[in-house]
Structure 1
Amino acid sequence: MTIPAPSQADLDWAMALASRHRRPAELHDAGVAELAAAGGVLRRAEDGESVTNAVLLAAHDLLHTQVPYQLGGSSLRRLAEFLVGRGVVPKPGDYEGRWWLWWPKCGRGPCRDCGKTRSLTRYSARFGNEYRYLCGRCRSAERQQIAQQAGRLLAMQDPRQPASTPAPTTLTPSIQAPAGSTSVPSPSGRDWESYVIRLDELLGALGWAGFDLPEEWDSDFDPQEGALLFATLWRGDGGLDVQYSPHQQILALQPFDDVTGDWPDSYSLLKDSIEVPVAPSGQQAVTAVAAAAGQAGLLDATHVRVADSAPPEAAQAFTLRRIRRIFQPAAAFRQLPLPDLLREVTENEWLNAYLEWVVGMTGHDVAPDIVPDAAALGIAAWCWRNNTAVEDHHLESDVLMARVNIAVTRITQQHVCPVEGIDWDGLKNDLTDPQSALPDGTPVCSLFGSGWTEVAATVTAELDRWRHLDHEVLGPETTLILMSIGGSTSYTESWWGQGRWLTICRRVIDDATAAGLPLPPPYDQRGPDALLADLDAPDEVPAPVLDWLIDLPDAGVHGPRGLRMHPVTRPPQHCWDPYWLTDGNPSPGPRTMSARPPGVAP
């Protein structure tokens, strides 16, 4: 495939670029004309002209084979981004098997498996897979498929496993020391693969909550202790250390300590270590890890403030860093310089009001991360309960209002994806659907009577407003961040849908029983554990039970508190105290941006 001859402007551009790297006598050497030709193709594609996939690929290959990387690398990477966007991806052995070095890690285009145009991530060639670009949903399905296939394979290969025993959901190699031996046999490559697959399973709840799960884990082996996988997980500037000991069957979540000083803006998301017993297969351990992470607040948005011991300039540095992390994705989405994007945002009166009140005041300590369940609460709070006619038609009891809030949150959760963003159209259809009902079958619209028309209209207007901002101004990432902050303020800290929900309920129950208050029927007979289990779905318990949880009606003025007033609903707080501010030194600037945790936007 030949590509069009370059224009004079393309030649001038290539000569100017080459002059930065070569002496004048070398400007007509091989590579400059090819750079001009490939650059012309790239320019036309960027200008929106019709350029075929074959021509784009030919321009890419011309740069790869004929132009030194230091000269054509930028154009090579940009052409690769265009190709990914059109679903053109190299085979594993193409370009000496090293194409992944310059092809983008993330992009947007047709997913290899489902074919839908979505946000894509490139996944590495391990466990027998090739390098491939997948959307978040297909990656999740792939993980499950790998685990299921591995379990079936092991079941066929292990003659000791009875035929009536269901195949395990993951690879489960022999992890016990041989009889009479005091040491653990060294794991095979297949064993290590099984450990990583299981670890990904165990940490699924943290992955959904916005933590970057590594594609590669550090590992070690000791003949006495067995295998060990470990890494630091990051969400924004917050970190925690993970250690998985498959032979000991222990998963440990530990405080992060920046002992090397490589992450000056970081802070630990844990104060104490958490150890969870985990079997080599099965859902029970996955649930136990999620429960432990939820109890520690790791599944909710992080609340962080500047340390009291930090100098005055720390507050300003913290605010500026937070603004960049909120709006840098929007600037990239719009392809605008950040100051231009911020100027447009401040000129939007309605959005600016949300930013001042929700983000700047009630949510001033919420870290700007994408936490899907928090975003769902944000939508329920600010597109349903607030800024609409819902409060004008407040239902007859707080219990009934709570049931509707939970129903709205359940619906919203189905339309929030950390990869795809928020499906505003689907959300609008479901929230205003006359058939939408509580668990007992009561239509939500019937509860508002004649006021439903106004409720539906104002909810629709609010969702449409956010849809416009998402699609035209902010982009999906910044919108998710803003909604995650909106779902993490004092307004929603006692709502169902957060990761700490059962921990909060447990504390209310324990305080009530310690004070001698009777549990509501039928749990006065069934006991507190049964009540806690049923409160996982609080909209399905009898109304007197939910009413008891909200206010503890028999507690008295000085008695224990229910959900409405209990201090346990306040989320854990973390301190931001970067060492470069504690000694009066200025911010290291570029060093902070270059030496940052994976996935942290400067």
Structure 2
Amino acid sequence: MTIPVPSQADIDLAIATTSGSGRTTGADTEGVAELAAALGVLRRVESGEEVPDAAVQDAHDLLYASAARHPGGGCLRRLAEELVGRGIVPKPWNYDGKWYLWWPKNGRGPCRDCGQTRSLTRYSARFGKEYRYLCARCRTAERELDVQQAEELRTMLGSSPAHTHADRDQLPTMAGIPAHTGTPSSAAGNRPTDHQWSDFVDRLHDLLAPLEWAGFELPEEWDGEFDPEVGAVLFSELWRGDGCLVAEYRPQVGALELQPFDDVTGDWPESYTMLDDAIELSVGTSGEDGVITVARAAGHAGLLDATHVRVADTAPEEAKQEFALARIRRIFEPAAAFRRLPLVEILREVSEHEWLSTYLEWVVGMAGKDVAPDIVPDAAALGVAAWCWRNNTAVEQHHLNTDVLMARVNIAVTRIVQEYVCPLEGIDWDGIRSALMDPHWSLPDGTPIHSLFGSGWSEVASTVTDELSRWKELDHQVLGTETTLILMTIGGSTSYTDSWWGQGRWHSICQRIIESATAAEIALPTPYNARGQAAFLADLDDPDQLPDHVLDWLIDLPQASSDGPYGLRFHPATRPQHRCWDPFWLSEDQS
């Protein structure tokens, strides 16, 4: 063993940690020595002392095999996090195959593929792959390679390859889906092969990619069953924070259903459903059209934007207070972990930070008070655009001549920021600053954006740079990646941005405006009065490419009365959808 000898303080802490519930422990109590050794290793690591990889690994393994494995106060997980940071990952069969229960889903360390130290996500050992920690870039590359290899394999074998028994034996059996025999077939009445189950899951992950980007966690393993009448079925819960929905996929008939979540067992008392009604979608068995269909439906349902959630009116006041406190904890616990400080110290520090406390009071506590503390990259990009460009800077003082021109610049800013926001690696503040200050940065028609502000550009550039620099310092020195992304997600989900391009509901908002105008017999702008609604809606996905008179029509419908119908500025479709947390078991009406 390479573990350093623990100090008396380590032993005392181990004793204190394993004591409780009326049980007294001592240095000779089973498991205390192992926990003390592990605590000693962590103490040395966290103090900056050079501790060999083998010592961290041995401390982890010794604690895992000991009686203090569970009452160790999170020590086993902290050691696992340190090992991830050193690029050490177990094999799937290590630790009885259950190591994923305490090894972190996310971490920071060397990516298995590129070797760069980055934010990492753990991916499961499905389809012959090992458990691995990858950065966002390498995960994208891996998926693209998988698609390429699958296409090459289909080309080589044909659309209905006849798999041999040797092929079957090399395929993993998925949790919840038994290994199958029989001939492959796409008909619902025929049982799929293992290869087909694997293809079904790959297809499902492609279909759900818009939800995954918006912060929903896809399960590492899907439950599955086969019915001769309806064919194969894959299903699981999808979570974002405490919000949940259920996905049910019938791949052989190309059907996907997103369903409400019901905590019938009471296992998730803090949960709430992301949907009130089921969404049934025809997604086909291949092709990009199905992905677009899911993205459109998810956007319409508000699933691609940050969650707006409130507590049911029937809940007691204590539940409402606890809900608000839980929100604060979830915003700042990542910052506490980043700084390795108690949460109370982080809260005290941010409350005493004059500039940040103003943002927290107004944006987080008032304008965005009902926004869930999740990470939604597109919403975070809107937050940066809103609070580092449009607000708190000289941009508004030098308001451009028309709302159309301001909208064009807002879109241009949002497009740039989106390129520098990653849900794992965080926000590249320097990249945003360089792009926004680039003298060649232009509107689609080639007009340099700095020229639009004339002599006021120097003040605009200076104040925007100041805001970006402030947030960079807060991100890197005070808050850390996760808390910063959460705060920007909230900032991009208030009434300031609810009509901006870049949110998941944009397509749905535009559709509702067009429908309102058509119902009121207001003509579409040229050339769409001839080309039709479908062409108009498709082109509105990139509104900065459209002529001024078209954007002007969208912002304020012409010839509409004060009672409506309304354009983008006032249409009810711009208001976010709200979810409800209803702790009915605490309701005063319960008997």
Determine the C-alpha separation between the residues in 1 that align with 2:159 and 2:413: 50
What is the RMSD of the two structures over their aligned residues, measured on CA atoms?
2.9
SS at match of 2:252: coil
What letter is aligned with 2:539?
Answer: D
The aligned counterpart of 1:167 is none
Decide whether aligned partners of structure 1 residues 222 and 490 sit closer, same or farther in structure 2, where only a CA change above 3 A counts.
same
Determine the C-alpha separation between the residues in 2 that align with 1:19 and 1:557: 69
The answer (yes or no) to whether the contact 2:26–2:32 under 8 Å persists in 1 is no
What letter is aligned with 2:573?
Answer: V
Determine the C-alpha separation between the residues in 1 that align with 2:32 and 2:583: 47
The aligned counterpart of 1:523 is 528
After TM superposition, list the pairs within 5 Å mapping 1:45-64 onto structure 2.
Answer: 45-61=45-61
Determine the C-alpha separation between the residues in 2 that align with 1:129 and 1:65: 27
Deviation, structure 1 residue 217: 1.2
After TM superposition, list the pairs within 5 Å mapping 1:505-524 onto structure 2.
Answer: 505-524=510-529
SS at match of 2:107: strand
After superposition, the C-alpha distances for 1:486-540 in whole angstroms (9 at most, x for unaligned) are 1111111111111111111111112212222222111122122111111110011
Decide whether aligned partners of structure 1 residues 451 and 175 sit closer, same or farther in structure 2, where only a CA change above 3 A counts.
farther
Pair 1:192 & 2:175 matched: no
SS at match of 2:189: coil
**Which ranges in structure 1 are unaligned for 5 or more consecutive residues?**
162-172, 178-182, 587-602
Deviation, structure 1 residue 359: 1.4
Alignment partner for residue 555 of structure 1, among 536, 553, 560?
Answer: 560
The aligned counterpart of 1:319 is 324
Deviation, structure 1 residue 553: 2.5
The aligned counterpart of 1:225 is 230
Alignment partner for residue 276 of structure 2, among 268, 271, 275?
Answer: 271
The aligned counterpart of 2:186 is 176
Decide whether aligned partners of structure 1 residues 524 and 332 sit closer, same or farther in structure 2, where only a CA change above 3 A counts.
same
The aligned counterpart of 1:306 is 311
After TM superposition, list the pairs within 5 Å mapping 1:471-550 onto structure 2.
Answer: 471-550=476-555
Determine the C-alpha separation between the residues in 2 that align with 1:95 and 1:452: 60
The aligned counterpart of 1:244 is 249
Determine the C-alpha separation between the residues in 2 that align with 1:317 and 1:67: 34
After superposition, the C-alpha distances for 1:71-91 in whole angstroms (9 at most, x for unaligned) are 879655433322221213344
Deviation, structure 1 residue 101: 5.2
Deviation, structure 1 residue 220: 1.4
After superposition, the C-alpha distances for 1:442-496 in whole angstroms (9 at most, x for unaligned) are 1111111111111011000001111111112211111111111111111111111
SS at match of 1:489: coil
Decide whether aligned partners of structure 1 residues 97 and 283 sit closer, same or farther in structure 2, where only a CA change above 3 A counts.
same
Alignment partner for residue 217 of structure 2, among 212, 232, 243?
Answer: 212
Decide whether aligned partners of structure 1 residues 102 and 141 sit closer, same or farther in structure 2, where only a CA change above 3 A counts.
same
Pair 1:258 & 2:263 matched: yes
The answer (yes or no) to whether the contact 2:304–2:504 under 8 Å persists in 1 is yes
Question: Which has the higher mean CA deviation after the structures are superposed, 185-194 or 198-207?
Answer: 185-194
Decide whether aligned partners of structure 1 residues 302 and 100 sit closer, same or farther in structure 2, where only a CA change above 3 A counts.
closer
The answer (yes or no) to whether the contact 2:32–2:68 under 8 Å persists in 1 is no
The aligned counterpart of 1:383 is 388
Decide whether aligned partners of structure 1 residues 5 and 445 sit closer, same or farther in structure 2, where only a CA change above 3 A counts.
same
Question: Which has the higher mean CA deviation after the structures are superposed, 64-73 or 286-295?
Answer: 64-73
Decide whether aligned partners of structure 1 residues 298 and 59 sit closer, same or farther in structure 2, where only a CA change above 3 A counts.
closer
Decide whether aligned partners of structure 1 residues 53 and 428 sit closer, same or farther in structure 2, where only a CA change above 3 A counts.
same
Decide whether aligned partners of structure 1 residues 33 and 477 sit closer, same or farther in structure 2, where only a CA change above 3 A counts.
closer
The aligned counterpart of 1:116 is 116
Question: Which has the higher mean CA deviation after the structures are superposed, 147-156 or 347-356?
Answer: 147-156
After superposition, the C-alpha distances for 1:268-317 in whole angstroms (9 at most, x for unaligned) are 22222211111221111111110111111111111222223333444323
After superposition, the C-alpha distances for 1:541-574 in whole angstroms (9 at most, x for unaligned) are 0011101111112224444211111112111122
The answer (yes or no) to whether the contact 1:254–1:272 under 8 Å persists in 2 is yes
Deviation, structure 1 residue 174: 5.3
The answer (yes or no) to whether the contact 1:243–1:252 under 8 Å persists in 2 is yes
SS at match of 1:128: coil
SS at match of 1:247: helix
Decide whether aligned partners of structure 1 residues 232 and 99 sit closer, same or farther in structure 2, where only a CA change above 3 A counts.
closer
Alignment partner for residue 448 of structure 1, among 453, 456, 459?
Answer: 453
Deviation, structure 1 residue 58: 4.4
The answer (yes or no) to whether the contact 2:568–2:574 under 8 Å persists in 1 is yes
What letter is aligned with 1:509?
Answer: I
After TM superposition, list the pairs within 5 Å mapping 1:278-357 onto structure 2.
Answer: 278-357=283-362
After TM superposition, list the pairs within 5 Å mapping 1:422-437 onto structure 2.
Answer: 422-437=427-442
The answer (yes or no) to whether the contact 1:304–1:574 under 8 Å persists in 2 is yes
After superposition, the C-alpha distances for 1:333-389 in whole angstroms (9 at most, x for unaligned) are 222222221111111121111112111222122222111111111111111010000
Query: How many aligned positions are there?
Result: 570
Determine the C-alpha separation between the residues in 2 that align with 1:565 and 1:57: 59
After superposition, the C-alpha distances for 1:113-141 in whole angstroms (9 at most, x for unaligned) are 12121222222222101111112332233
Determine the C-alpha separation between the residues in 2 that align with 1:262 and 1:64: 27
The aligned counterpart of 1:592 is none
What letter is aligned with 1:133?
Answer: Y
Decide whether aligned partners of structure 1 residues 546 and 10 sit closer, same or farther in structure 2, where only a CA change above 3 A counts.
closer
SS at match of 2:565: coil
Decide whether aligned partners of structure 1 residues 530 and 444 sit closer, same or farther in structure 2, where only a CA change above 3 A counts.
same
The answer (yes or no) to whether the contact 1:175–1:246 under 8 Å persists in 2 is no
TM-score (norm 1): 0.87
After superposition, the C-alpha distances for 1:406-451 in whole angstroms (9 at most, x for unaligned) are 0000001111111111111111111111111111111111111111
Question: Which has the higher mean CA deviation after the structures are superposed, 368-377 or 80-89?
Answer: 80-89
SS at match of 2:226: strand
SS at match of 1:107: strand
The answer (yes or no) to whether the contact 1:19–1:27 under 8 Å persists in 2 is no
The aligned counterpart of 2:145 is 145
The aligned counterpart of 1:359 is 364
The answer (yes or no) to whether the contact 2:253–2:284 under 8 Å persists in 1 is no
